[in-house]
């Protein structure tokens, strides 16, 4: 079964998108490299056996409208919202790769009632988003490659810590596979499709069961830091009655 390619008007723009499958909708958002289109998701199309996959060419990419300047992630998120409304989708899950992950996060932050769950593949982000993610409260699966030189795995840990309802999965190094260049390991939907498919299927079947909020340890961690400072200064920690 092959995906169907369609075009739809969204405000002043034309959006090209691929779609396949039935069931709950899953929106797929590609990265920022000029040659990327919705077809980067073809290795993950088997997810269509349980979900309706909708994968647009973001503005400035593929067959969608190409403005003089490619819109930033905030504008792309707004266009994605307009697409969701035009397709009359109520609640959906969203998966983003690289910059598409950043667009997915912005979409979820701005229109949380639309989002059921999020999957991030080597996602980009900005510092402003990290501050806002504490309030996201959506089940989120975060997947990175161990040796990614474009979106490094430490970004995955930052996202995990910012989103309390999240789970981080770190895949083996791509560099061990001689067919692939480790610099391209952020394209996990291509280079690690079997692992991503397995994780995505498990997560999407019951998102809440795969994530857990970390315990509130702020006071305990503060106490540890105070004890460290006391030890450095050679003073005994004070106790309260």
Over the stretch 95-152, which tens digit does the pLDDT of each residue have? 999 999 999 999 999 999 999 999 999 999 999 999 999 899 999 999 999 888 888 9
Give the max Cα distance, the chain: 71
Q: What was the pLDDT predicted at 224?
A: 42
Q: What was the pLDDT predicted at 218?
A: 43
Q: Cβ distance 97 to 30 under 8 Å?
A: yes
Lookup: tokens for 80: 């994605």
Mean pLDDT calculated for residue range 34-56: 96
Q: Can you give the pTM of this predicted structure?
A: 0.86
Residue 240's contacts (CB-CB under 8 Å, 6 or more residues apart) are: none
In the predicted structure, residue 238 carries a pLDDT above the cut 90:
no
Q: Give the confidence band of 213 by pLDDT, cuts at 50, 70, 90.
A: low
Q: What was the pLDDT predicted at 232?
A: 53
pLDDT tens digit sequence for 175-202: 777 777 777 778 899 889 999 999 999 9
Instruction: Determine the angle formed by the axes of helices 73-86 and 99-110, rounding to 10 degrees.
Output: 60
**Average of per-residue pLDDT values in the chain:** 88
Domains of the chain: 4-213 (3.40.50.1820)
């Amino acid at each position: 079964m092959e995906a169907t390619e369609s075009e739809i008007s969204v405000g002043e723009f034309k959006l090209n998108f691929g779609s396949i499958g039935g069931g709950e909708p899953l929106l797929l958002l590609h990265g920022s490299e000029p040659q990327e289109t919705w077809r980067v998701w073809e290795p993950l199309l088997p997810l269509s056996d349980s979900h309706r996959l909708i994968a647009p060419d973001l503005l400035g990419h593929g067959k969608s409208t190409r403005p003089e300047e490619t819109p930033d992630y905030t504008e792309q998120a707004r266009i994605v919202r307009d697409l969701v409304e035009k397709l009359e989708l109520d609640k959906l899950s969203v998966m983003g790769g690289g910059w598409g992950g950043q667009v997915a996060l912005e979409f979820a932050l701005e229109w949380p009632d639309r989002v059921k769950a999020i999957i991030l593949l080597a996602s980009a982000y900005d510092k402003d988003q990290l501050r806002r993610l504490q309030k996201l409260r959506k089940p989120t699966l975060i997947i990175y490659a161990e040796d990614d030189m474009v979106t490094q795995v430490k970004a995955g840990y930052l996202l995990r810590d910012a989103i309390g309802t999240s789970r981080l999965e770190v895949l083996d190094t791509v560099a061990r596979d001689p067919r692939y260049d480790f610099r391209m390991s952020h394209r996990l939907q291509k280079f690690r499709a079997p692992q991503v498919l397995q994780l995505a299927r498990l997560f999407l079947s019951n998102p809440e069961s795969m994530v857990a909020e970390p315990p509130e340890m702020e006071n305990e961690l503060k106490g540890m830091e105070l004890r460290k400072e006391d030890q450095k200064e050679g003073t005994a920690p004070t106790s309260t009655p």
